[in-house]
Chain A
């Protein structure tokens, strides 16, 4: 008589145990390679620690003090990152919105253009950076300078001048992602009900007015998400900088991620690099929190 009851209880226990077993591997990987490193990064930032001499020395906030008040280079890197981010975000949002509207209609040419614009998104940033370094070669045989020559414009030094280096890097980043973001905006455009536009058409509303009064407001939640996503992606820029400019000329394209890498793997100052990493992490966490806050509100409205 007791057997079935026992069995049920055992089964109940087994079943309540099962989901934990199923998520355990995933959570173990995330814990070990994402969350523990995040915590450890903050911890290491309070130490004077390098890979050559493995003795950790507690220094409190001194790494942060050096970073913000003594060394100039951190503030320069932070400023460069902000400039890069601002430029990339502004260009990507406006240009991909424009392209989305322009290539939206389902014609053969538009489909081909969408594929063409999207191609760089799948290609390694490394390859894009190298191809563009070649195109932007500072010599007269560089393709871009040769084109300028056609219009009798004197050659530019692109990546080799501190005035144009950041601009060149921004161009490559925008070129790489524009097709992807245009695609995202296009699928958002498709979700706007056609009836709304039909009503506007009946009223003979001018096109620009339809855009500013209808399309843009209806698109604004999606655009805001893109804004945050692009900002997050821009703050961690590394490949382009490392391949195209090595942070130079001078420190005109030095950015946060490259700064952290340099101090950790070229100067071996792990403690100091961790402090810089912590700053980057805090920035990314704030942006992530913003993202989810807006996501939560959007779900609430629906």
Chain B
């Protein structure tokens, strides 16, 4: 009897320890988000209490009331949504013909131009912002949302990814369509695109994540409250006149994080596959 138990323990114990350690790792990555949510529901006094409470003793929405009354939140959310949505639409319109040409046409200078696309992918905003800012100031656009949108018109990575996908579409299909006198734009939109739907969704997803979360670019490209996005507004919560209130700061971050967490909850498998694919290429 005892011997059997001992054998059982010896057999399952390593597995158990392994799993407990794994759960600890999970906790390490999820607990900060839990902490954000929990803090946002605490009153200020409870955030500066020792020891910190793992669940709010006095559950309150004060922090949310403060940010909703303290600033024009709808304006910031509206800006974030408009900027992100417009970028995705603009990139799609610019990207499809470019990727099609790079995949299915031979023309002089193609290699050079494609190399330029790849190089552009590696150049961050931290290099280009000075000149772009001067340009936007000269064009008198700094009081509009355009400086946050048009510099991202060409999505170098998207062009690359979509081209790879277009290359896989068999030449015969296109030839057949051409013999039927189908115009090129219709081949592009009615034959090629439906075959690359999942790549398109993947690219839009990357764009959404990177521009909804963007902080550096709007920080340097916005001169007035009217055009600032949510990220900048939330960063400003840090220097309100009455010192650091972690509960309001966390409430602001909940608003910023929520759309992405909801998306992840519903489509985690798909999203993770998309990012793994991006990494391999």
The distance in angstroms between the C-alpha atoms of A131 and B254, with both chains bound, is: 10
A-B contact count (CB 8 A): 248
Q: Report 26 cross-chain contacts, Cβ distance below 8 Å, ordered by A residue.
A: A18-B101, A23-B98, A23-B101, A25-B93, A26-B98, A27-B98, A29-B150, A29-B151, A35-B116, A41-B127, A113-B25, A117-B25, A124-B215, A126-B213, A126-B234, A126-B235, A134-B36, A134-B246, A139-B48, A146-B52, A179-B29, A180-B275, A239-B215, A257-B216, A261-B129, A288-B119
Which residue of B102, B151, B261 contacts A23 across the interface (Cβ within 8 Å)? B102
B97 interfacial by beta-carbon distance below 8 Å: yes
On whether the beta carbons of A122 and B271 are closer than 8 Å, the reply is: yes
On whether the beta carbons of B279 and A35 are closer than 8 Å, the reply is: no
A175 interfacial by beta-carbon distance below 8 Å: yes
On whether the beta carbons of A116 and B29 are closer than 8 Å, the reply is: yes
On whether the beta carbons of A236 and B124 are closer than 8 Å, the reply is: yes
Which secondary structure characterizes the binding site on chain B? helix
The distance in angstroms between the C-alpha atoms of A208 and B107, with both chains bound, is: 52
Which residue of B123, B126, B213, B272 contacts A124 across the interface (Cβ within 8 Å)? B213
Chain A residues with CB under 8 Å of B26's CB are: 112-113, 116-117
A205 interfacial by beta-carbon distance below 8 Å: no
On whether the beta carbons of A18 and B127 are closer than 8 Å, the reply is: no
B130 interfacial by beta-carbon distance below 8 Å: yes
On whether the beta carbons of B94 and A26 are closer than 8 Å, the reply is: yes
The distance in angstroms between the C-alpha atoms of A149 and B51, with both chains bound, is: 9
A281 interfacial by beta-carbon distance below 8 Å: yes
B260 interfacial by beta-carbon distance below 8 Å: yes
Closest to B95 in A: A26
Chain A, residues 201-217, CB within 8 Å of chain B (1/0): the string is: 00000000000000000
Chain B residues with CB under 8 Å of A146's CB are: 50-52
B4 interfacial by beta-carbon distance below 8 Å: no
Interface core residue of B19, B131, B213, B238 (most chain A CB under 10 Å):
B131
Beyond the given pairs A19-B105, A27-B113, 10 more chain A to chain B contacts, judged by CB atoms under 8 angstroms and listed by A's residue number, are A22-B100, A29-B154, A34-B156, A37-B131, A127-B253, A131-B253, A134-B39, A142-B52, A183-B272, A284-B122
Chain B residues with CB under 8 Å of A163's CB are: none
Chain B residues with CB under 8 Å of A86's CB are: none
On whether the beta carbons of B19 and A109 are closer than 8 Å, the reply is: yes
Chain B residues with CB under 8 Å of A187's CB are: 276-277, 279-280
The distance in angstroms between the C-alpha atoms of A117 and B264, with both chains bound, is: 12
A140 interfacial by beta-carbon distance below 8 Å: yes
B163-213, CB < 8 A from A: 184, 209, 212-213
Chain A residues with CB under 8 Å of B30's CB are: 116, 119
B32 interfacial by beta-carbon distance below 8 Å: yes
A37-B132, A120-B29, A126-B213 known; A238+B126 contact, CB < 8 A: yes
On whether the beta carbons of B130 and A264 are closer than 8 Å, the reply is: yes
